[in-house]
Amino acid sequence: MTEATARVQSAPLGPTAEHRGRVEDIADGVAMISGLPDVRLDELLHFDGGQFGFAQVLEPDRIGCVLLDAARALQAGDAVRGTGDVVRVPVGRGLLGRIVDPLGRPLDGKGPVVAAASLPVERDAPGIIDRELVTDPVQTGVLVVDTLFALGRGQRELIVGDPATGKTTLAIDTIIAQKDSDMICIYVAVGQKTSAVRRAVDALETHGAFDRCVVVVAGPATPPGLQWIAPFAGMTMAEHFRDNGQHALIVIDDLSKHAATHREIALLTRQSPGREAYPGDVFYVHARLLERAAKLSAARGGGSLTALPIAQTEAGNLSAYIPTNLISITDGQIVLDARLFQEGQKPAVDVSVSVSRVGGKTQAPALRDAAKSLRLDYAQFLEMEIFTRFGGTIEPRVQAQLTRGQRLRAVLRQPQHAPMRLIDEVALVLAVQEGLLDSLTPEQVGTFRDAMPKAIDETAISVARGNTATGTLTKEDRAALLAALRTLTAAVESPDV
C-alpha cells in the first residue's frame, strides 16, 4: 500500500460545515465583509487569496476588517472565512538580534525566525497583586535623566517634544546604555521613515548590544493594520522575557503616529468621531497598551518591563489631545524643548516641566546623595539668568551662583550615542557641587568631562568598581574620588593640556 493510498483511506469521510463570507467593498486597507455572523471582535480572518485581517468593528449586517497584508489582489466578492483565532506573534530568544515586522516576519534577510511560542498581541495587564514596587534603577547613561528624572524598572516614562528635537536619540541612547546590563531591549518603529529606522539600527549595531535587541518595524507604506498592531506586538514580545523572570525595555516610536492610524481606521470603518476626529476609545487603546508594563512580584518571577513611549507635539503644545492622554497614563514625562535644541543644549530636556513620578526611589544611593539639590540649584540659576539679562550690578553671591549654573549646564550637555557610567555621573555631579569646575571655562568643562573616565580608571579604579557593584560611595571612596577630580581640574587648567 502506497503512502498516498494510506492517507486517502485514513481521511475522515462525511460532510463538513464552514462559515464563509464575502467582501462587500475594500479600500485603504479596510474591507467591509458580510455573511459571518459568528465572528468575534479581533478574530483573525483569512481571505482566499492568502491575505489576513482582523475584525475591528462588528455591526449587525457586516464586519469592518483591517487588513494585515497588501490589498492589491483583493476585490469585492472575494470569499473570506473566520479562523477562530486572534492575531499572534512569535516570541522567544530567536527574535534577539533580528529586525521583523509586527507579525514576526523577518525583514533583515537572515532567514526565518525560530520562535519559542506564539502569543496573542492583545493580552491582559498584570493585576495589582501580581505587581511589585518600582525600586530598581534603569541606568540610561544620560546625565540629565539619571540625576533629575531617574527611571525605574517597571516604570512608564513618556518622551515628548516637537519634531527633530532628539526624542528618538534619547530613547536609542537609553537602549545603548543597556549594553552591559541584563535588560533586553525592543524598539518598535510605527510609521517612521525607512532612513530614520536605518539610522537607529546602525546606532544599535555600532554602539549597543544588538544581539540582545529586537527591532519591530511597521513603515509608513505598510498596511494600516500592521501599524496598528505594532506596539501591541512589541509589548507581547517583551512580556515573554518579563514573564520568564528577565528584565525588558520597550521603546515605542511613536504613539502619535499610532493614534493617527487608529483615527484613520476608525473613520474608514465609520465609527463616530470625537475630539480632533479621534474615536472615543483612543485613550483606552493606549491605556491598555501601557498598563502592560510592570514589575512583577517575586511570586511571579520578579521580572520587569519598562516602557518608553514617544509622543510628538506641535509648537510645544503639551495640552494637545494625544500628549495629554499619554501624560495622564504614564508615570512621568521627559519634555524636549525646540529652543534648547536650537541653542545647542543637547539633550534638550526642559527641566521645568519634566518629571518622574518614581524619582529618587530608584536612584543609585551615591547619585541620589550627590544630586539631592541639583534640580533646585539649576532651576534657581535659570531664573536668575533671565533677570540678569536686564543689566545692572550683580552681587558676588549671585555671580557665583550664575557661574556654578553655567558649569552645570555645560556638564549636562552630552554627545549622542555616548552613555555614561554610573561612577562618571556621580563624579561629574560631585565636581559641580564641590565647585571644582567654577574656575574652568565652558570649553574646559567639555575637556574635563572627556578626560574624566580615563583619570578615574587610572587613579580611583577601586572606587569605580565598588560604585558599579553597589551603587554607593563610602566616605573614603568619596575622598579618593574628589582627590582624583581635583588633580584632573588642575591638569585641565594648566597650559600644557
Contact 142, 414 (CB under 8 A): yes
Give yes or no: residues 378 and 453 share one domain: yes
Q: What is the mean pLDDT of the segment spanning 228-244?
A: 96
Give yes or no: residues 277 and 346 share one domain: yes
Give yes or no: residues 357 and 446 share one domain: no
Q: Which of 363, 392, 410 is the last residue of a domain?
A: 363
Give yes or no: residues 29 and 162 share one domain: no
Please check the confidence at residue 164 and state whether its pLDDT lies above 70.
Answer: yes
Phi, psi of 332 (to 5 degrees): 140, 170
Give the integer Cα–Cα distance in Å for 467 and 184. 23
Band (pLDDT 50/70/90 cuts) for residue 159 is very high
What amino acid occupies position 83?
T
Q: Which of 86, 103, 131 is the last residue of a domain?
A: 86
Task: Measure Cα distances from 21 to 17, 30, 82, 83 in Å.
Answer: 13, 15, 9, 12
Give yes or no: residues 330 and 386 share one domain: no
Rg, C-alpha atoms of the chain? 27
The number of angstroms, rounded, from the C-alpha of 411 to the middle of its chain's C-alpha atoms is 25
Is residue 419 domain-resident? yes
Percent of the chain with pLDDT over 70: 96
Please check the confidence at residue 380 and state whether its pLDDT lies above 90.
Answer: no
Contact 445, 453 (CB under 8 A): no
Band (pLDDT 50/70/90 cuts) for residue 408 is confident
Give yes or no: residues 52 and 127 share one domain: no
Which helix (H) or strand (E) segment holds residue 66: the answer is strand 63-67
Please check the confidence at residue 241 and state whether its pLDDT lies above 70.
Answer: yes
Greatest alpha-carbon pair distance for the chain in Å reads 106
What CATH number is given to the structural domain containing 34?
Answer: 2.40.30.20
**Comparing C-alpha atoms, which of 409, 440, 420 is closest to residue 346?**
409
Domain range enclosing 395: 369-493
205 burial (CB, 10 Å; 0-12 / 13-18 / 19+) is middle
Secondary structure of residue 210 in the 3-state scheme: helix
Domains in the chain: how many in total? 3
Least confidently predicted of 119-123, 143-147, 259-263, 386-390: 386-390
Percent of the chain with pLDDT over 90: 55
Tell me what pLDDT residue 332 has: 93
Give yes or no: residues 107 and 154 share one domain: yes
Q: Which of 131, 288, 357, 413 is catalytic?
A: 357
Q: What is the DSSP track for 170-194?
A: HHHHHHHGGGGSSEEEEEEEES--H
Is residue 339 domain-resident? yes
Task: Measure Cα distances from 171 to 22, 180, 311 in Å.
Answer: 44, 17, 12
Q: What is the mean pLDDT of the segment spanning 133-152?
A: 92
206 burial (CB, 10 Å; 0-12 / 13-18 / 19+) is exposed
pLDDT digits (tens, 9 = 90+) for 44-66: 999 988 899 999 999 888 899 99
Tell me what pLDDT residue 13 has: 66
Is residue 2 domain-resident? no
Of 433 and 2, the structure prediction assigns the larger pLDDT to 433
Is residue 5 domain-resident? no
Give the integer Cα–Cα distance in Å for 477 and 177. 24
What CATH number is given to the structural domain containing 480?
Answer: 1.20.150.20
Q: Which of 328, 363, 398 is the last residue of a domain?
A: 363
Q: What is the mean pLDDT of the segment spanning 76-98?
A: 92
Tell me what pLDDT residue 410 has: 87
Tell me what pLDDT residue 495 has: 55
Phi, psi of 159 (to 5 degrees): -105, 120
Contact 62, 32 (CB under 8 A): yes
Q: What is the DSSP letter of 385?
A: H
Task: Measure Cα distances from 211 to 102, 184, 489 in Å.
Answer: 19, 9, 39
357 is catalytic: yes
Is residue 6 domain-resident? no
386: which 3 cell numbers?
533671565
Give yes or no: residues 119 and 256 share one domain: yes
Contacts 24+ apart (CB under 8 A), 385-388: none
Give yes or no: residues 183 and 321 share one domain: yes
202: which 3 cell numbers?
546602525
Report cis status (omega within 30 of 0) of the bond before 124. no
Give yes or no: residues 103 and 77 share one domain: no
Give yes or no: residues 297 and 347 share one domain: yes
Please check the confidence at residue 244 and state whether its pLDDT lies above 60.
Answer: yes
Residue 95: how many other CB atoms lie within 10 Å:
26
Least confidently predicted of 149-153, 396-400, 445-449, 479-483: 396-400
Residues in Cβ contact with 139 at an 8 Å cutoff, skipping those fewer than 6 apart: 146, 177, 181, 364, 422
Give the integer Cα–Cα distance in Å for 36 and 65. 12
Give the integer Cα–Cα distance in Å for 378 and 405. 6
Band (pLDDT 50/70/90 cuts) for residue 497 is very low
Is residue 179 domain-resident? yes
Residues in Cβ contact with 445 at an 8 Å cutoff, skipping those fewer than 6 apart: 407, 410, 411, 437
**Residue spans of beta strands (DSSP E) within 175-301:** 183-190, 213-218, 247-253
Q: What is the mean pLDDT of the segment spanning 371-378?
A: 83
Is residue 174 domain-resident? yes
Q: What is the DSSP letter of 87?
A: -
**Mean per-residue pLDDT of the chain:** 89
What CATH number is given to the structural domain containing 114?
Answer: 3.40.50.300
Q: What is the DSSP track for 19-41?
A: -EEEEEEEETTEEEEES-TTPPT
Taking the CA atoms of residue 483, residue 484, residue 489 and residue 490 in that order, the dihedral angle to the nearest 10 degrees is: 70
H helices of 192-223, in order, are 194-207
Band (pLDDT 50/70/90 cuts) for residue 312 is very high
Give yes or no: residues 79 and 208 share one domain: no
